[in-house]
């Protein structure tokens, strides 16, 4: 087994390598004066099982291109098998043709990763489950639910209700509610544009209860904060949010600071940032990913990693 890391999230790769007791393979990654990316793997990986850790978080184009070049370098260095470990899969929201003359960019990215030479993909909480079908290679699709549920149980909250901030998140919210043995509610929304969301109504009983908003990712925090405001108007007791991929912008941090959300629970699938006044709890997915890598390497099942 050989573990490589791009520059997107070296800290996570180090945590994964430490759990596995394997040192990270040295990789020289540089930018030429014109911006082109240069990659050189500094160890012999011929005939090895190679895992390349690289979330395609902002800036997504830089990190995606870096990943593709690393895969190509590993393939040309005669690696036996190359697994792209992408904790956060960028462009996942562009997964369908929902208006005329637009691309399906998630499928394009999948094609690029396969064409570069990846033999399989390990990822976490894709925005849409069907993206797995965009790949012509095996995909191990993990979920951060066990990690986040562990944190929620440790908080000792009673009379909880899990809320989906929009109809698209109902399936995930239902899974949380079943595991936690609590109620389920939905905050209906209408998107004005890419940055602004208008919440319309709440389906379910949230009055006086401890609310947990769950979502797969947050950027401008419009959906989360709009839903939280609506829940507050409907008499929710406390409001917390749990999100797998946290790509919050400065605008999003400001929204969260002004919102009724008391605490935001996130994972380290992408690098952290300065929260400036927002109560945040970061749970690591390094152990989850490391266990999956170990089982893939040993040709074992990863199904047990979904059990809570």
Does 149 share its domain with 268? Answer: yes
Do 77 and 138 lie in one domain? The reply is: yes
> Quick one: 121 and 220 in the same domain?
no
Yes or no: say if 223 and 243 are a contact pair by the CB < 8 Å rule: no
Q: How would residue 199 be classed by pLDDT, with cut points 50, 70 and 90?
A: low
What is the model's pLDDT at position 250? 93
Same domain for 172 and 43?
no
Domain of 60 in residue numbering reads as 2-143+287-306
Does residue 193 surpass a pLDDT of 80?
no
pLDDT at site 5: 98
The rounded percent of the chain whose pLDDT value lies above 90 is 84
Q: In the chain, how many domains are there? A: 2
Same domain, residue pair 17 and 87? yes
- The pLDDT assigned to 122 comes to 98
Give the confidence band of 162 by pLDDT, cuts at 50, 70, 90.
very high
Residue closest to 6 by CA, chosen among 79, 85, 82, 80: 85
DSSP H helices, the chain, are 10-20, 60-76, 105-116, 145-154, 170-180, 222-233, 250-258, 286-297
233 and 152 share a domain?
Answer: yes
Checking if the pLDDT of 188 tops 90, the result is no
| pLDDT for 277 | 86
Phi and psi torsions of 77, nearest 5°: -90, 10
**291 shares a domain with 277:** no
Q: Are residues 267 and 292 in the same domain?
A: no
Are 110 and 213 within one domain? no
- Please identify every residue annotated as catalytic: 189
Of 61-75, 194-208, 224-238, where does mean pLDDT reach its minimum? Answer: 194-208
The residue-averaged pLDDT of 221-232 equals: 90
Query: Does 84 share its domain with 137?
Result: yes
Cβ–Cβ contacts within 10 Å for residue 166, how many? Answer: 20
Domain CATH code at residue 166: 3.40.50.2020
Q: How many CA atoms lie within 13 A of 218 on its CB side?
A: 27
pTM of the model: 0.93
**In this structure, are 130 and 154 located in the same domain?**
no
pLDDT of residue 190: 62
189 vs 180, which has greater pLDDT?
180
Residues 38 and 167 both lie in one domain: no
Position 168 scores a pLDDT of 81
Give whichever of 114-123, 152-161, 195-204 has the largest mean pLDDT.
114-123
């Amino acid at each position: 087994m050989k573990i490589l890391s791009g520059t997107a999230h070296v800290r996570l790769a180090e945590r994964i390598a430490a759990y596995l007791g394997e040192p990270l393979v040295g990789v020289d990654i540089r930018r030429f004066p014109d911006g082109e990316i240069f990659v050189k793997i500094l160890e012999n990986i011929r005939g090895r099982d190679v895992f390349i850790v690289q979330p395609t978080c902002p800036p997504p184009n830089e990190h995606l291109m870096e990943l593709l070049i690393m895969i190509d370098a590993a393939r040309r260095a005669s690696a036996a098998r190359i697994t792209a470990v992408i904790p956060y899969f960028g462009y996942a929201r562009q997964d369908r043709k929902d208006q005329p003359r637009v691309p399906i960019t998630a499928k394009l990215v999948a094609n690029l990763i396969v064409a570069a030479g990846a033999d399989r993909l390990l990822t976490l909480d894709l925005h849409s489950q069907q993206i797995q079908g965009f790949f012509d290679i095996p995909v191990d699709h993990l979920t951060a639910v066990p990690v986040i549920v562990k944190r929620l149980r440790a908080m000792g909250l009673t009379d909880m209700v899990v809320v989906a901030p929009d109809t698209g998140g109902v399936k995930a919210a239902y899974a949380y509610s079943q595991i936690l043995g609590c109620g389920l509610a939905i905050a209906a929304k209408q998107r004005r544009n890419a940055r602004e969301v208008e919440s319309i109504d709440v389906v379910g009983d949230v009055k006086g209860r401890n609310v947990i908003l769950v979502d797969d990712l947050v950027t401008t925090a419009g959906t989360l904060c709009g839903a939280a405001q609506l829940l507050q108007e409907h008499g929710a007791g406390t409001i917390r949010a749990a999100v797998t991929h946290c790509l919050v912008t400065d605008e999003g941090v400001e929204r969260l600071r002004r919102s009724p959300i008391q605490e935001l629970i996130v994972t380290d699938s992408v690098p952290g940032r300065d929260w400036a006044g927002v109560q945040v709890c970061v749970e690591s997915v390094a152990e989850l990913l490391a266990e999956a890598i170990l089982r893939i390497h040993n040709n074992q099942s990863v199904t047990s990693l979904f059990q809570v």
